Amino acid sequence: MSRYDRIDTKLVHAGEPRPRIGGAVTVPIFQTSTFEQDSDTPYDDIRYARLSNTPNHDVLHAKLAALEGGEAALVTSSGMAAISTTLLALLRPGDHLIAQRCLYGGTHDLVTKDLADLGIEHSFVDGDDVEQWARALRPTTRAFYCESLTNPLLEVADLPSIVGFCQSHGLVSVIDNTFTSPVCFRPLEHGFDVVLHSATKYLGGHSDVVAGAVVGRSDVVEHVRQKLNHLGACLEPFGCFLLHRGLKTLALRVRHQSGTASTLAHFLSKHEAIATVYHPSLATHPQQARARALFDAMGGVLSFTLKDTSVPVERFIRKLDLPVYAPSLGGVESLITRPARSSHAGLSAKAREELGISDGLIRLSVGLEAASDLMMDLHQALDPSEDERTT
Ligand SMILES: *Cc1c(COP(=O)(O)O)cnc(C)c1O
């Protein structure tokens, strides 16, 4: 299989059992908690669903490792399970973590509350400010945590410099690759040690499964796997099946969504009712050159603000026909949300303002609808003369 290095082929074929199980073209769901053992089965070879070693887990692990170019992978019961289990495997009380500012809300709370309760310290830094990283460094610093594209402003940190910084200071570099997916960006190819995913988003891709993934070197993934066995956040067999099924179309979906997101970003940036648009495909994006150098596609999420701040954002969102007003991203249906009310609701208004997340900011996760239909829908919802429209 390693002969075929295109991601489209890997999505379909990598990790699939040969010979196929019972001749089945797709891997059947092994809806069983435990498996028969022989009298001489070594303890480590016992198959049990919590140990993430059923055939449904095995195929996903091999496929995800191939997609990200890692030695090994592990699936978990959610993206937060991947993140918390990995950080708990890497960090001990007294250790220190450097983390990019503006993390996913759940990760931010994990670091500032749960890890802090355990005596694991942290410093938040700007993803672009190398000198700030050096000032944050302590003798106890163990790891650097960042995201490939930040939520909701779609910023791209100086990822190559983060890798270099970690290598020169003996830190583990950890990156949440949820927003880009391996179709747009493969951090391990750029020297990152550990890649994390909320597979709930693009990897699953159909808004019907909550799952997570960890990919990296075998020794690191094995360490996380042991922690996961103890903490128990395994992905159950039906979740494995849904994730496996969703993954096969990842490249088609993400390329299409990235293309539509770029089209909509350009359309919105020229629209008179729009103040600012955030998407790495735009010339106005501060790290467009970096995104182009690192990413194969720019991702399917964009954010924007309305020019007229007296227009209630809720009214605009309610006027849209197609995007579903819901948190999350990466599904086949477009999803629209207000980060100040969802992913970043836990932060104080002041903290949000410092991060540049205004109350009026709108985030759109582009689905698989026709770009022209999404454009038509945005156009009618932005048209003030339509405000009296009855629905
Ligand atoms: C959604 C998300 C998570 C958390 O994933 P869950 O599957 O909801 O636990 C983590 N990181 C990012 C970037 C996300 O978008």
Measured between alpha carbons, how far is 192 from 173 in angstroms, rounded to an integer? 5
Spatial separation of the C-alpha atoms in residues 69 and 3, rounded to whole Å: 13
Q: Is the CB of 96 under 6 A from ligand 1?
A: no
72 Cβ neighbours under 8 A, 6+ residues apart = 61, 65, 215, 216, 217, 218, 221, 222
- In degrees, to the nearest 5, what angle opens at C-alpha 370 toward C-alphas 365 and 376? 85
The token pair at 285 is 């994006």
pTM of this structure: 0.96
Q: How far apart are CA 358 and CA 83, in angstroms?
A: 27
CA of 126 to the centre of ligand 1 (A): 21
**Residue where a domain terminates, one of 247, 267, 291:** 247
Reading phi first (left if > 0) and then psi (alpha if -120 to 50, else beta), residue 191 is in: left
Active-site residues, by number, are: 50, 104, 176, 201
> Where does residue 44 rank: exposed (0-12), middle (13-18), buried (19+ CB within 10 A)?
exposed
Q: Is 200 in the pocket of ligand 1 (CB under 6 A)?
A: yes
**Across the chain, where does the E strand assignment appear?**
72-76, 96-100, 121-125, 141-147, 172-176, 194-198, 212-216, 274-278, 301-306, 324-325, 335-337, 362-365
Containing structural domain, residue 288: 251-381
How many whole angstroms separate alpha carbon 213 and alpha carbon 234? 10
- Ordered strands of the 194-198 beta sheet: 72-76, 212-216, 194-198, 172-176, 141-147, 96-100, 121-125
pLDDT at 1: 61
Residue 197 belongs to some domain of the structure: yes
Neighbours of 92 (CB within 10 A): 12
Residues 288-319 have pLDDT tens digits of 999 999 999 999 999 999 998 888 899 999 99
Question: What's the CA gap between 107 and 362, in Å, rounded?
Answer: 21
Whether residues 238 and 261 share a domain: the answer is no
Residue 38 lies in a domain: yes
Stretch among 66-80, 266-280, 354-368, 377-391 having the lowest mean pLDDT: 377-391
- The arithmetic mean of pLDDT across residues 249-259, rounded, is 98
Express each pLDDT in 161-193 by its tens digit.
Answer: 999 999 999 999 999 999 999 999 999 999 999
CATH code of the domain in which 201 resides: 3.40.640.10
Which atom number of ligand 1 is nearest to the Cα of residue 151? 13
Q: Which of the listed residues 232, 247, 262 is the one where a domain comes to its end?
A: 247
- Contact at 8 Å (CB) between 101 and 112? no
Together in a domain, 77 and 92: yes
Take atom 7 of ligand 1 and give the residue whose Cα is closest.
79
* Residue showing tokens 């790290």: 287
| 262 touches 298 (CB < 8 A) | yes
- Is 19 buried (19+), middle (13-18) or exposed (0-12) by CB count in 10 A? exposed
- Using a pLDDT cut of 90, give the percent of the chain over it: 87
Per-residue model confidence (pLDDT) at position 387: 57
Question: End of a domain among 187, 222, 247?
Answer: 247
Whether residue 225 has pLDDT greater than 70: yes
Q: Is residue 13 part of a domain?
A: yes
Rg (CA), the chain: 21
Distance in Å, CA 330 to ligand 1 centroid = 11
**Ligand 1, from 108, 153, 178, 328: best to mutate by most atoms within 8 Å of Cβ?**
178
* C-alpha atoms less than 13 angstroms from C-alpha of 337 in its C-beta half-sphere: 20
* Residue 97 within a domain: yes
User: Does the structure show a pLDDT above 60 at 388?
Assistant: no
CA 371 – ligand 1 centroid, Å: 26
What total of structural domains would you count in the chain? 2
Q: Does residue 388 lie in a domain region?
A: no
Q: Are residues 141 and 74 in the same domain?
A: yes
3-state secondary structure of 298: coil
Q: Are residues 196 and 262 in the same domain?
A: no
210 CB near ligand 1 (under 6 Å): yes
